[in-house]
Amino acid sequence: MSNEKPRMLEVYLQEYEKLKDEQTQRIGFRDNLLYFTLGVFGAVISFAVSNKANYYALLVIPWVCLILGWTYLVNDEKITAIGIYIRLTLSEKIMQETANNDIESIFGWEIAHRNDQRRKRRKIEQLIIDQITFVFSGIIGLIAFCILVPQPLGITQVLCWIELGLLIVLGIEIVIYADLAKGR
């Protein structure tokens, strides 16, 4: 029976290690999505303005914003979920195994970085950047298309309204998942 406790502690610590590995990979992927998105914008805009016949390519920008923005959001949510699981569930299991009731002595960094005085400001700034990158850019693409092609076909107008609606939904979801909370 006494051998079981160290084994469970070892299992929990391995779980922590694997979760941190996944979190690190997701952070890298999520952050690279911003650069990739900007690169796609540049390519689409370059193509679109190279010839008047290519203005319809501007309608690709909202779809890029939606697809990559949603992928960014899903990864960001998983990163946050891993942190919550470590702080609230895994830490409790480890505290029980070690008879240590001080979470900060077990997962100090997991708690400390959420209590930083500038965290909320950084999270708001990130929220604004995410909105600019994935929502505002798509809306600008739609506005540019509407200015450059003042009377598109009816089906294209419907597509523009659908894209606008989906961008608004994405913007709302980005706000909902912003994780502005402080502390545990």
Mean per-residue pLDDT pooled into runs of 10, the chain (184 residues): 71 93 96 94 95 94 97 94 90 84 72 78 93 96 94 91 97 90 58
pLDDT score recorded for residue 184: 53
User: Which of 59, 44, 86, 55 lies closest to 164 in space, CA to CA?
Assistant: 59
Distances (CA, A) of 142 to 76, 95, 145, 159, 177: 26, 53, 5, 10, 25
pLDDT score recorded for residue 1: 47
pLDDT score recorded for residue 178: 87
Using DSSP's 3-state secondary structure scheme, residue 50 falls into coil
Q: How many other CB atoms are there within 10 angstroms of residue 62's CB atom? A: 27
pLDDT score recorded for residue 127: 95
pTM of the model: 0.84
pLDDT score recorded for residue 180: 76
pLDDT score recorded for residue 164: 97
pLDDT score recorded for residue 14: 93
